[in-house]
Amino acid sequence: MAQGFRVTVEKRVATLTLDRPPLNVLDIGTCRALTETIHGLAGLDDVGVLVVAGHGKAFSAGVDVGEHRPATAAAMLHAFHAFCRGLLEFPRPTIARVHGAALGGGCEVVLCCDVAIAALAAKLGQPEIALGVFPPLAAVLLPRIAGRRAAAEAILWGDVWPAAEALRLGLVSEVVATDQLDARVAARAARATSMSGATLRQARKALRRGAVGPVDEALRAVEEAYLNELMRTEDASEGLQAFLEKRPPAWRHR
C-alpha cells in the first residue's frame, strides 16, 4: 500500500488497485506515485499483463477537483497525464476492471487501457463540463475510440452512460454480471500471460505507431519494426518453429 493504491504481481499478472476511499479520487501525489510504479512494472520481465482496478464502491471518480484551480491546475494535469501516458505506453497488454463509477479522470484511465471489462451496474462518463472545464485526454482519445458524435455527447453535454451503452459506443470491451467480473478479468489476464512477452511488446508498439499519420507511412514504420525488431527476438523464431513442428511454444519472453 502506498499513496492510495496497492500493487500485486502473481503468475505474471500485475494488478494495480486504486484505494483512496470513498471514491478513489486521484490527487497530484497519488498520480506521481502511480507514474513511478507504472514505470517500474514496465521494466519487469515477469509481468505479462497489467490489470487496473478500484477498491470499494467505485473504480474512480477522477482527479481531485480542488487541484483543478489555477494555482495547481498545471501540476495536476501534468501528473495525471504522466500516469496515463505510462498506461498508454505500457509494454504489455492492459485491462481495466470497471465497477461502480468511472467518471472524469477515472473514465480517462479506462480509455487508456487496451481492454475494459465492466460490471453491468458500472457507469462511465465525462461530467467535467458541468464544472466549467473539459477533459483534455478524453478530447483526444474519445473521438478515436467512440467517434466524434459520442465524444461530443460525453464532453459537451457531460453525459454519463450505463455500462451497456458504454459497450455500444466502444468505451468498454465487455459487460458482465458483477459476480462474474473477477473471473472474466482473470481469464483475460491469463490469456495474455500465455503469450510471448517479447512479441506483445512489439505488437503494442506497432498498434501505437499504426494509429499515427498516413497509412503508407505508418505501414512502412511497422514493417521496419517487424523485420528489424520482432524477427530478431528469440520468441518469434520459437513460435514459428513450434507451429511447424506441431508443438506448444516454449516462450522465453525475449
Kindly list the catalytic residues. Answer: 108, 128
d(CA 168, CA 102): 16
CA distances from 249 to 143, 196, 239, 243 (A): 39, 9, 5, 8
CA distance 196 to 191: 11
Is 129 in contact with 156 (CB distance < 8 Å)? yes
CA distance 233 to 192: 18
Task: Scan for cell 490527487, then name that residue.
Answer: 27
Cα–Cα distance between 185 and 180 in angstroms, integer?
9
C-alpha to C-alpha distance for 102 and 39, rounded to whole angstroms: 23
First and final CA of the chain: distance in angstroms?
A: 31
How many angstroms separate the CA atoms of 4 and 88, rounded?
21
